[in-house]
Each structure stands twice: as C-alpha cells, then as structure tokens.
Amino acid sequence: MFKLNSFLITAIILIPLTAAGWDDTDWNNGYNRGNAAGTAFGKKVDEPEEINTRFIQPLTSSGTLMQSLDGSVSFDGQLSAPSSDAFLEIMVAPAGTGDLTTVLLRQDTNFDGTPDYAYNVPVRISGVCANGFISADAGSWNNLHYYTWKTNPAGEVTIAEQTSILELTACYCINASCGS
C-alpha cells in the first residue's frame, strides 16, 4: 500500500512538471542546490555548541536572537516563556507499606500564580506509570487496578475510570512488595 501511494504521489508531482517542460538540467540544478544547502547547513551546526547557540538558546530564551544561516537576518524566535510560579503542586504521603495513601494535586489553571483547583486522588497508589498508576492491596501486588490520568475541558487533572494494563506505559512498583 505504501509503495502504491508513493508511486501515485510521485506521478502526481512528475506529470505536471514534465508537461511544464522540466528536463534533466532542471532536476540536476535542483539536486545541486539542495545538496549545497544541506552541506552549508551541516557546516554551520556540526558541533553541539553550535546547535545550542543557533537553535536551543534562541528558542528558549529572550536573550538570544535566532539568526539566518548567513547571519544577515535576526529575530526573536523564543517558543517558551519562563515562569517562576508553580502551575502544578503535588503533595504525597506514603504509608508504612510504601503505597502512596495521600496524593493531593493543586493546579493554577489560569496561570495567575494562585492554585485554583485541588484534587485528592481517591485510591491508593502502589505503582507509578508515565501516564497513570496502579493501585493494589496495601503493601502487596495483589488485587491490581489500573488508572490513567486525564484532564477535563478546563484542564483540571483527575483520574480516568479503571482501565487495562495495556493503556499504561513505563510502570514500576513502589510499595513494600517490590523490595527496597
């Protein structure tokens, strides 16, 4: 299917260009120009420090301007804004079994510097995952229940209804049943 789609896309592009009078010289010129541009780009960013200076700093800081490769044009390319105010606070209290029995999330949903939403996770957390958690009997890995995190339309964090282990990623056990 992919080869057929690639063939059709190529045909759709090539037929009009051929009809417009493109010949091998045009293709070679295009290839040579693309190759030259790629080589010039590679020479400008061949060191990690160059990548940091030319891309990372301008995209994350207002103190460094983004520049064209030849240095003739400079502009503010910052994609992120620094914040000194927390927008999510998480307070956890583990039990003697290693399970997290109190997990309180506080969010600043409108980014005014003051938390305006709080959520207390209603179940014990025995294992943590990249996108949720596992709840089990205290201090054990028995009677497992799986949950994912979700947000409502206002951006407030809650948990989804119970789900399958197949919906969770990168999980590991944190309670006493797992060892120290």
Binned at pLDDT 50, 70 and 90, residue 4 comes out as very low
Same domain, 68 and 92: no
Q: What are phi and psi of 150, to 5 degrees?
A: -145, 165
Distance CA 144, CA 124 (A): 11
Of 53, 75, 97, which marks where a domain is finished? 75
Selected residue with higher pLDDT from 82 and 108: 108
Within 13 A of 26's CA, how many CA atoms are on the CB side?
7
How many residues comprise the chain? 180
Binned at pLDDT 50, 70 and 90, residue 3 comes out as very low
Domain that holds residue 96: 88-178
- Classify residue 83: in a domain, yes or no: no
Statement: residue 36 has pLDDT above 80: no
pLDDT given at position 22: 55
The answer to whether the beta carbons of residues 150 and 159 sit under 8 Å apart is yes
The answer to whether the beta carbons of residues 54 and 75 sit under 8 Å apart is no
Is the Cα torsion angle 5, 37, 67, 55 positive or negative in sign?
positive
Same domain, 94 and 134: yes
Is the Cα torsion angle 137, 141, 145, 148 positive or negative in sign?
positive
124 three-state secondary structure: coil
Q: The tokens of 154 are what?
A: 């206002």
Of 30, 49, 75, which marks where a domain is finished? 75
Distance CA 150, CA 162 (A): 12
Give the DSSP letter of residue 17.
Answer: H
Same domain, 42 and 101: no
Same domain, 11 and 92: no
- Classify residue 23: in a domain, yes or no: yes
- Structural domain count, the chain: 2
Statement: residue 6 has pLDDT above 60: no
- Classify residue 81: in a domain, yes or no: no
